[in-house]
A = this chain, B = another copy of it.
Amino acid sequence: MKLTILGCYSATPQVHTNPTAQILEINNHTFLIDCGEGTQVELRRNKVKFSRIKHIFISHLHGDHCFGLAGLISTFRLLTREADLHIYAPKGLKEVITLQMKLSASWTNYKLIFHELTASTSEMIYEDDKVEVYTIPLDHRIYTNGFLFKEKSGDRKLDMNAVLNADIDVAYYRKLKQGADVPDNNGGIVKNESVTRNPKPPKSYAFCSDTAYNEAIIPIIKNVDALYHESTFIEKNKALALHSKHSTAKQAATIAKKANVGQLILGHYSTRYDDLSAFKTEAQAIFSNVELAQDGKEFNFN
């Protein structure tokens, strides 16, 4: 599992800072999370292959999280994309994008499938044999979801030496990977754990932006390997956080601690701060494993 930060600043794009967008590579998927203005350029700068993106998750309809989407959809069209594109976003975005395509007479030549989100409780919005994605209802000024991405547990690994020694017919290997005890070629039964090993533990990632301090998310994100939690402000501006339904670094760290996550990644910084070190210091006073997101920074979780 690998996370690439394309943009991690709030409000408006500036010359050296980009609004929210990130790429999560998880079990052979390349998920785009949020798509602020300029995201398609940041995808190019970070050498993300456009054709790998088949699912886009949009947290909410403030411009710094979605104003790059129309341009990206249009660029996919110009690149003669054929693969379906799934977009998971609050209800309303489909109407905007459809209107923009109509007015520019630029319908996509690929299938654009909107999954409009309206639920106020966590729901599974994507599942295949490798990953599951759930919404994380957040507390912001407009309807907003974070997203929880979970690898599914893989098959058990065969210990090939042990398997060959146990004299098991190849036809049973699949059963072994699924965890079953199987017969050997001599009329005996082979205990599964004697010839297989546990698969790599599945990883999980929670994206939580934008939100006020909200303990309701703790049961949903409990024990995730990595939590990206917005921290628009530091403590001296906590009144602004309260007013605008954002979080401080300390609040993000408090959530991380209470949810017992593996690692906390801070981001969605207000552009008022020239120096981000206070974000880390204030968060680490609560929870030790803190990293600062930066545009272009990669996080590897393997």
Contacts and interface: CB of A to CB of B under 8 A. Distances in A.
A100 B75 CA distance: 20
A13 B96 CA distance: 21
Contacts of A61: 100, 103-104
A63 interface: yes
B41 A78 contact: no
Number of copies: 2
| Contact-residue bracket for chain A | 35 or more
A95 interface: yes
Contact of A12 (B13, B63, B75, B93): B75
A52 interface: no
Interface string A131-164: 0000000000110000000000000000000000
Interface string A71-88: 100110010000000000
A75 B19 CA distance: 12
A114 interface: no
A71 B63 contact: yes
B13 A45 contact: no
Interface string A191-215: 0000000000000000000000000
A62 B104 contact: yes
Given A93-B103, A96-B100, A99-B96, A38 B62 contact: no
A90 B100 CA distance: 13
Nearest to A18: B41
A40 B12 contact: yes
Given A37-B38, A99-B95, A71 B13 contact: yes
A30 B189 CA distance: 84
Contacts of A70: 63, 67
A15 B44 contact: yes
Interface of A: 11-15, 37-38, 40-41, 44-45, 61-64, 67-68, 70-71, 74-75, 78, 90, 92-93, 95-96, 99-100, 103-106, 141-142
8 contacts: A11-B78, A15-B44, A62-B104, A67-B67, A67-B71, A95-B99, A96-B103, A99-B99
